[in-house]
């Protein structure tokens, strides 16, 4: 640890950092860590003659954090106490908005993230990177040994799920630097949970993201606030980011998943009614009726969830209309395929029917996406 510190300081000792740096530290009950992190940052500040500010964004911990910042007596450090919209990501966003310097750095308060890496991160920013992450997963990086298997697995799975969104090795890191200008120009930040760096990479559309290896130290004081509940929010966050990045493919995929669920519902209801001893035609009709209804509700609530506040009755009629037109398209298409294309092929009728089903479904999807659940239906 001491060695890492010494080598990184001497490596950069002769470089002058002319831009000011705003270091944003989200905090919740970190009173014991505040004096230590300020001391580490102060050493760094003096070693490199940095112009910086430290903003603690505290969610009203009421544990003496505000007093601890004041007692440290640094005129470049202050604490902003938040009382609304509690959470790590919103706190970081507020801090970035309040920052006064053109370079922003975000880090944990618990000293897991070595402040000594900040100069290297800023050098990387100055040589063309749009964002620089203090990374646990690039050569040269390490984590304290007592990371249990579960924590490791959790981290790996979370990172893999984000892979289609970014090639960054450690997009889950809470230690990163970027430009204030880039932050100011993005206006649709909407993170849930902890993954603020991932949110920024995706929403800012960053292509060049550098990673600087760090040694991730386990926190000594206090405990992690990353509860299981917070972790579950990641799934919700991922869905939002996938929708942002791959909007059309995501809507289609969700529509197909709902369609498949309709098949299951149809068959289940059919079987249930049969067991109840109803006539076969009633069972068939029941299966169709119920699955149309669940398809509608799931598409409204899930596939096209942005339209879930629209007029239910109008949407339902639209949905039925689109399905009827889709069925018509399917019929016309199969007749056409049968007479013009699959004539003479074995299973020609079945192939034609499949082609009809596919075109009916595409038509159905387009009708739902652009007419029934169109975006202009959203009420703010």
Tell me which residues touch ligand GDD (CB under 6 A).
Answer: 26-28, 30, 57-59, 86-88, 91, 108-110, 112, 155, 172, 174, 194-195, 219, 224-226
166 interface partner picked from ligand GDD, Mn ion, none, CB below 5 to 8 A per type: none
Decide: is 110 part of the binding site for Mn ion (CB under 5 A): yes
Stretch of residues binding Mn ion (CB under 5 A), selected from 56-64, 102-110, 164-172, 344-352: 102-110
Look up residue 74 and give its two tokens.
């640094």
From the list Mn ion, ligand GDD, none, partner contacted by residue 323 (C-beta under 5 to 8 A by kind): none
- Min dist CB 224 to Mn ion, Å, is 6
For Mn ion, the binding residue among 65, 112, 166, 303 (CB under 5 A) is 112
CB of 125 to Mn ion, least distance (A): 23
- Of 30 and 42, CB closest to ligand GDD: 30
Name which of 91 and 177 has its Cβ closer to ligand GDD. 91
Residue with Cβ nearer ligand GDD (32 or 182)? 32
**CB 246, min distance to ligand GDD, A:** 23
- Minimum CB separation of residue 72 from ligand GDD in Å reads 16
CB of 195 to ligand GDD, least distance (A): 6
Give 27 or 364: the residue with its C-beta nearer to ligand GDD: 27
Residue 163 near which of Mn ion, ligand GDD, none (CB within 5-8 Å, type-dependent): none
Q: Taking the complex as a whole, how short is the minimal distance between the CB of residue 127 and ligand GDD, in angstroms?
A: 25
Q: Which is nearer to ligand GDD, 121 or 265 (CB)?
A: 121
Least CB distance to ligand GDD at residue 238 (A): 13
Choice between 111 and 209, CB closer to Mn ion = 111
Q: Which residue's CB is nearer to ligand GDD, number 33 or number 315?
A: 33
Residue whose CB is less far from ligand GDD, 192 or 283: 192
11, 43, 65, 121, 258 from 125: Cα distances, Å: 17, 22, 31, 6, 44
Question: Which one of 42, 59, 94, 108 is in contact with Mn ion (CB under 5 A)?
Answer: 108
Q: Cα(236)–Cα(238) distance, rounded to whole angstroms?
A: 5
CB of 284 to Mn ion, least distance (A): 58
Indicate the length of the chain as a whole number: 380
Q: Please choose, from the candidates 324, 327, 332, the residue with its C-alpha nearest in 3D space to the C-alpha of residue 360.
A: 327
Which of 188, 168, 187, 40 is CA-nearest to residue 107? 40
Binding region for Mn ion (CB under 5 A): 108, 110, 112
């Amino acid at each position: 640890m001491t060695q890492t510190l010494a080598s990184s300081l001497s490596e950069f000792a002769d470089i002058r950092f002319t831009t000011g740096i705003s270091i944003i530290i989200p905090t919740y009950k970190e009173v014991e860590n505040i004096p230590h992190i300020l001391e580490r940052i102060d050493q760094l500040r003096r070693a490199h003659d940095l112009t910086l500010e430290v903003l603690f964004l505290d969610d009203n911990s009421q544990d003496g954090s505000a007093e601890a910042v004041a007692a440290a007596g640094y005129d470049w450090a202050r604490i902003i106490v938040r009382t609304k919209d509690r959470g790590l990501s919103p706190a970081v966003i507020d801090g970035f908005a309040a920052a006064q310097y053109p370079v922003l750095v975000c880090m944990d308060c618990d000293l897991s993230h070595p402040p000594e890496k900040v100069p290297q991160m800023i050098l990387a920013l100055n040589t063309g990177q749009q964002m620089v992450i203090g990374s646990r997963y690039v050569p040269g990086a390490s984590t304290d040994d007592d990371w249990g298997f579960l924590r490791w697995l959790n981290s790996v799975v979370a990172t893999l799920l984000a892979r289609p969104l970014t090639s960054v090795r450690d997009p889950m890191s809470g230690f990163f630097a970027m430009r204030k200008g880039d932050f100011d120009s993005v206006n649709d930040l909407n993170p849930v949970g902890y993954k603020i760096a991932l949110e920024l990479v995706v929403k800012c559309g960053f292509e060049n993201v550098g990673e600087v290896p760090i040694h991730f130290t386990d926190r000594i004081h206090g405990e992690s606030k990353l509860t299981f509940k917070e972790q579950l929010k990641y799934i919700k966050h991922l869905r939002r980011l996938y929708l942002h990045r791959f909007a059309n493919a995501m809507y289609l995929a969700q529509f197909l998943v709902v369609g498949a669920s309709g098949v299951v519902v149809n068959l289940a209801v059919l079987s249930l009614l049969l067991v109840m001893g109803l006539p076969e035609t009633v069972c068939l009709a029941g299966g169709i009726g119920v699955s149309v209804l669940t398809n509608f509700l799931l598409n409204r609530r899930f596939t096209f969830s942005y339209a879930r506040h629209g007029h239910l009755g109008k949407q339902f009629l639209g949905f039925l209309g689109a399905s009827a037109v889709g069925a018509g398209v399917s019929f016309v298409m199969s007749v056409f395929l049968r007479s013009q294309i699959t004539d003479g092929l074995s299973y020609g009728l079945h192939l034609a029917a499949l082609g009809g089903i596919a075109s009916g479904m595409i038509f159905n999807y387009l009708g739902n996406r652009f007419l029934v659940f169109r975006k202009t239906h959203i009420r703010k």
